[in-house]
Structure 1
């Protein structure tokens, strides 16, 4: 489960002794210090013996479970690392069972092993190796050295076009699809799902398809069984019959064995469904066939099921609305489906939590705030936003004004745009602004590179583009790298102010509160104090006191306050 991982902890068994399991069906969940993942079964059969209990540790290569025909006489030992992780294991011990540590890309296995891994065997019946173009792990950002294969969108024997998505890869920063660099047939899959791969390592072989035709024709008998069992398990009642019919056109051109394995791995258009999602849907009485998956490749995620649950709950009050209209009452409380439940912490939450703790423990952080009158900015924006959108193709929100003032402040006070490197201080020569974005997956921070070189329109376009791609999960790793200073718009959620945590190795993060209209004491042209209704906002700056003093922070915020309250942006807006 990664180069430096030597053991894992069995966190949950998804099958018990006596249960049947299909090829590639999730068998157990394993946790390491890097990732939580499901381990699929390499064979179909009956669970005869569980060798490692929940919460116990197991070394890489250790046997986890025995799978056989149910008689208890013999079975296959499933090792704790995923298929293909140990290339030096022999592949001919079929009489003693199949170990997950055996290498799927080794010499052709015996006939007994073929049904378990037939979709990923690259060699033909004569033992010839597949030939074609290598698909390698691309560079996924400056600091990213490896990624985890989360899902194959194509199986051995499937055809793929140039730039067509081939697999999904997850890193600490982003989940993304890897397109195929060539057109052809998938001849070999080198890295299994949930396995790590270094940048530059070979993921798959795509070629003419000659090498894939031989193994596809061998397992004529096992293929129907492998296809029918998962179909009955994955598809809701009443929908198992149409699924083979929809696959028939593709099966006519391709050999049946790879398609059967595709069904087993859950890579059909309906999307692979994790046990957690399936359990959540079953408990709420949600038909998964009616749920539209929003994950990559149409995968049904937990959030999709939760939305279906909320929609189901809201339908009942809507039906009784006419009767209730006569007697107004308090709105019904929308109870979250998470109430009273448990779930594993998502990977992105673990990464965020770890980095925030490291930042707090490694810095002397504190926060300074000022209050800013944005009335002039609000009036400018109201006058210009329609023409601006038509001319620039971007929405004119308050954030471009705030970001421009912040960038000008960073140029004037470079202490806030610096990095501590041992006993040195590096003052950055450009202002790369991280823009914290709240998404369904969690917090992500895309970066506007060289923001100091952009005018108001350029900032607005970058904010709109990166924000839209963040919401749609379309960011690439390079979009998230290289920030020298960060802005978080806490006010978008209605908060007045906050104490954000500085993301290392930066030394400052600016927060913007919500804009509220309220009475404020102002001076008129004669210098007399009057009370007026103004659009007010808090700006708050968290900073690393090792580099930035309170006076530095106050001067930076006061610079921004003066720039924004003067509102001299007419030239930028063409007014």
Structure 2
């Protein structure tokens, strides 16, 4: 029985997606609930799994194609056995029909002889797109697909192996077959470039960041915090903390709790702007920026005020793992009243974080570095961290921003303040 493979139903905030990766090829067997295709939106990667045991009968939307919510991307044949790759994509069928007749044995014979008889190489749409983007001569690529068809993987291997680009490949008429010029000499000194389409996630990030800079009266205030008290507290209790809660005690949970207390004191920093309205939130949902290969994502730890340090650490680890594996759901990244980003894990000493709209402020943590500090008239070497608070001046006055940052500094330098709420 043949069934349609459809893109997931996107949330209202997501207009369309892109077919990111087909994990199964036409004719390839797959088991029930096995991942067959990834659909990338501007927020998350959505997975489509096999509805039952069977094979991929047809691929309608190739990698890189745009799809709408619920749109058919392929066909699945339930209960069928693997056919050794005999099934074809609809785009391949249409190509063969254009080459001269129906997609039958006659067109297959013509396709198999086309490249060897001096005609152009046969490329799948995804392979053609990759070849065009990287200026690769299709005739220089060795096809491994059915009937000598050039697949996307063939083009990728050709690029990675330093294959010639279209304007570098000698034509049949201009280069003699007996040329004695070594291949190494042809590519010697080549200044290689690689053009890769921006993913929907990175494009969305870029759009939001540019919008934040253009539409907000954004500025940043800085301070520095002595990390010694928190580091000593962490050193003293890290073993017992991990034994009791099954999670390591990090620094982010301290900053999340300190930020929560500061947000309760300065509601404007916990607010957001909606058109001409200022929305004040009576809860603290803190987004924690996580860097992944696909781009920066900000999962939200909700109701931080009611969570303990262990609960916060567990949530951060859970979100970090999901983010790296592309498993974050849209609901886990929506909302949020305040954001914390930690560039210190990459060695950043100081930076100016960009707002995460519609939020009105974002806290930037940085690298902990020992510096000589004057303490009670004496010079001491202390582990210091620069803190940066970027905020929207339309909503937050400079006085509030500075006082908010000072409140976080005081609570980190004396963690008992968090417990006593002073």
Q: Give me the TM-score of the superposition, normalised by structure 1.
A: 0.54
After TM superposition, give the deviation of residue 381 of structure 1 in Å.
0.7
Answer with 152-161 or 221-230: which moved more. Answer: 221-230
2:147, 2:259 → 1: CA distance? Answer: 51
Tell me which residue corresponds to 2:179: none
Provide the residue aligned with 1:278 in structure 2: 158
Gaps of 5+ in 2: 89-102, 116-120, 123-143, 165-189
Distance 1:346 1:205, change over 3 A: closer
Q: Does 1:197 align with 2:67?
A: yes
Q: Within 5 A, what are the aligned runs for 1:62-211?
A: 132-141=2-11, 143-208=13-78
User: Which ranges of structure 1 fall in alignment gaps of 5 or more residues?
Assistant: 1-130, 235-258, 267-271, 285-337, 524-528
Question: What corresponds to 2:136 in structure 1?
Answer: none
Secondary structure in 1 matching 2:273: strand
Task: Tell me how far 1:459 sits from its aligned partner.
Answer: 0.8
Given that residues 417 and 484 in structure 1 are in contact (C-alpha distance below 8 angstroms), is that contact kept between their aligned partners in structure 2? yes
Offset of 1:264 from its aligned partner? 4.9
Larger RCO, structure (CA 8 Å, separation 6 or more): 2
Classify the secondary structure of the residue corresponding to 2:382. Answer: strand
The change in CA–CA distance for 1:373 and 1:478 in structure 2 (over 3 A counts) is: same
- C-alpha spacing 1:396/1:221, structure 2 compared with 1 (3 Å): farther
> For 1:204-219, what aligned pairs fall within 5 Å after superposition?
204-208=74-78, 219=104
Q: Are the counterparts in 1 of residues 287 and 336 from structure 2 also a CA contact under 8 Å?
A: yes
- 2:368 and 2:87 mapped to 1: Cα distance? 64
CA deviations on 1:189-233 (whole Å, 9 max, x unpaired) are: 4434332222223333434367999x9699457668878999xx9
In 1, distance between residues paired with 2:108 and 2:375? 80
Q: Are residues 1:421 and 2:269 paired?
A: no
Instruction: Describe how 1:327-342 pairs up with structure 2 within 5 A.
Output: 341=193
Q: What's 2:378 paired with?
A: 530
User: Any conservation in 1 of the 2:7–2:39 contact (CA below 8 Å)?
Assistant: no
Cross-structure match for 1:34: none
Residue 460 in 1 paired to residue 313 in 2? Answer: yes
CA contact under 8 A between 1:187 and 1:212: conserved in structure 2?
no
Q: Structure 2 vs 1, CA of residues 226 and 386 (structure 1 numbering), >3 Å: closer, same or farther?
A: farther
Cα distance in structure 2, aligned partners of 1:174 and 1:339? 35
Separation of aligned partners in 2, 1:570 and 1:451: 13
Q: Which residue of the partner structure matches residue 341 of structure 2? A: 488
Q: Matched residues in 2 for 1:275 and 1:146: separation?
A: 27
Look up the SS of the partner of 1:282 in the other structure: coil
Cα distance in 1, alignment partners of residues 305 and 154 from structure 2: 45
Moved more, 377-386 or 448-457: 448-457
8 A contact 2:108–2:147 mirrored in 1 = no
Give SS of 1:497's match: coil
Deviation at 1:344, TM superposition (A): 4.4
Q: Residue 561 of structure 1 aligns with which residue? A: 409
- How far 1:351 moved relative to its partner? 3.2
User: What secondary structure sits across from 2:153 in the alignment?
Assistant: coil
Q: Take 2:157 and 2:328, find their aligned partners in 1: how far apart are those partners?
A: 25
Number of corresponding residues: 353
- Against the structure 1 CA distance between its residues 209 and 183, is the aligned structure 2 distance closer, same or farther, given a 3 Å change threshold? closer
- Cα RMSD between the aligned structures? 3.8
Shift of the alpha carbon at 1:183?
3.1
* 1:47-106 alpha-carbon deviations (Å, 9 max, x no partner): xxxxxxxxxxxxxxxxxxxxxxxxxxxxxxxxxxxxxxxxxxxxxxxxxxxxxxxxxxxx
State TM-score, norm by structure 2.
Answer: 0.72
CA distance in 1, matches of 2:282, 2:329: 24
Q: Any idea what the Cα deviations from partners look like across 1:505-542, whole Å, max 9, x if unmatched?
A: 1111100121122232224xxxxx43333221111100
Structure 1 residue 402, shift from structure 2 partner = 1.0
SS in 2 for 1:438: strand
Offset of residue 456 of structure 1: 0.4
Bigger shift: residues 146-155 or 379-388: 146-155
Say if 1:142 and 1:481, in contact at 8 Å, map to a contact too: no
Distance apart, 1:364 and its partner CA: 0.3
Select 1:541's aligned residue among 360, 369, 389.
389
What is residue 296 of structure 2 aligned with on the other side?
A: 443
Task: Find 1:343's aligned residue among 172, 195, 202.
Answer: 195
Q: 2:263 aligns with which of 405, 410, 414?
A: 410
Which secondary structure does the structure 2 equivalent of 1:504 belong to? coil
C-alpha change, 1:446 and 1:512, in structure 2 (3 Å) is same
SS of residue paired to 1:443: strand
What's the secondary structure of 1:556's corresponding residue?
helix
Q: What is the CA-CA distance between 1:366 and the residue it aligns to?
A: 0.4
